[in-house]
Amino acid sequence: MISAIIGRLSQAFLLLLVMSVIGFIGIHSVGNPVFNLVNAETATPEDIRRATVALGLDQPVWHQYFRFIGNVLTGNFGTSYIYHLPAFQLVMGKLPATLELAIVAMMIAAPAGVLLGLLAGRRKDKPVDRTILRLSVIALSIPSFWLSMMLILIGAILTGWFPSGGRGPTGALLGTEWSFLTLDGLRQLTLPALALALPNIALIARLTRSGTIEVETQDFTRFCQAKGLSPRRILFRHTLPNISVPIVTIIGMQFGGMLAFAVVVESIFNWPGVGKLLIDSIQLLDRPVVMATLTFISIAFVALNALVDLFYVVLDPRTRRSA
């Protein structure tokens, strides 16, 4: 168990290091942020040179990278070129919005996906099963930006039930502002949460269906049927616990994906989260904020995946030797 933990943490560290190199080289190969800080029409070459030296952009890229790593180890991600605030502080200020969106989306996706998967697995090859499978294929196939725009078209423009974007009014809880504490905030939260939840409902439903079909053929299930237990009791007391490990695994991995890849949804719905901050910072060439955001997203995604893997090892002793 200890060796599995050490090995998984080592892989996570190496992955974060590689991702930091790729992100740093990528953001430093696009544009020059100096021209966003000085007036390009009136600035003299000397003004541009002084701004470049002040930002440390006159150094080679490898030197800038090692300086960045050294600062990160001390918790310093630099100061935003645009907002003139600590970059990490900006990311943490946007985190509650992204965290709230991901939690609400998973609270919709997990129970809905599990229930649909159980229903499809119990009704294998029947109309309800084929319908759920076809809808899941559609939900997994359509791009997130198209799904978001269709939700805006139907939920905001045609029906007017929900706002088309923004976070709306919030309420304070534990020193942090949350949208779900107000009715208008919940209405603002509904469409972007559905945009994140629908593909995950389809994924969880398909996984649950396959697990249900497999478990329904096991001897212990037939024994429960022979004892006269009701189908509902067998389904929820015996089938569901036996397929819960892969379901919990995929839920954890998809939750990490929501935190890391909610960029498109947040941008379309103008949701002021970490993903939208990343897009805005890339457009403004705000390199410290971009690197702070990428680092946070990478750590969150890798950490959640590592925790899910370790949780799988704890729940299923058969995987400890292979791990």
Concatenated DSSP letters of 105-129 = HHHHHHHHHHHHHHHHHHTTTSHHH
The percentage of residues in the chain with a pLDDT greater than 90, rounded to a whole number, is: 9
Average pLDDT, the chain: 81
Q: What is the pLDDT of residue 105?
A: 92
Assign 313 a pLDDT band (cuts: 50, 70, 90): low
Task: Report whether 190 contacts 104 (CB < 8 A).
Answer: no
- Residue 176 β-bridge partners: 173
Segment 57-77 shows an average pLDDT of 80
50-56 CB contacts, 8 Å cutoff, 24+ apart = 55/81
Assign 111 a pLDDT band (cuts: 50, 70, 90): very high
Tens digit of each residue's pLDDT (9 = 90 or more) over 206-249 = 988 888 888 877 777 777 777 777 777 777 777 787 787 788 88
CB atoms under 10 Å from CB of 28, counted, come to 19
| DSSP secondary structure letter of residue 156 | I
Q: What is the pLDDT of residue 312?
A: 67
Q: Tell me the C-alpha distance between 323 and 313, whole Å.
A: 8
Which strand (E) or helix (H) includes residue 241?
helix 240-242
Residue 294 has pLDDT above 80, yes or no: yes
- Provide the CA 264 distance to its chain's centre, in angstroms: 11
Question: What residues have CB less than 8 Å from 181, skipping those under 6 apart?
Answer: 170, 171, 172, 173
Q: What is the pLDDT of residue 4?
A: 62
Residue 48 has pLDDT above 60, yes or no: yes
Kindly state the tokens that stand for 189: 């939260």
Q: What is the pLDDT of residue 201?
A: 92
pTM higher than 0.85? no
Which strand (E) or helix (H) includes residue 213?
helix 183-216
Residue 318 has pLDDT above 60, yes or no: no
3-state secondary structure of 127: helix
Helices vs strands, H then E, count in the chain? 15, 2
User: How many CA atoms are closer than 13 Å to the CA of 61, on its beta-carbon side?
Assistant: 11
Assign 108 a pLDDT band (cuts: 50, 70, 90): very high
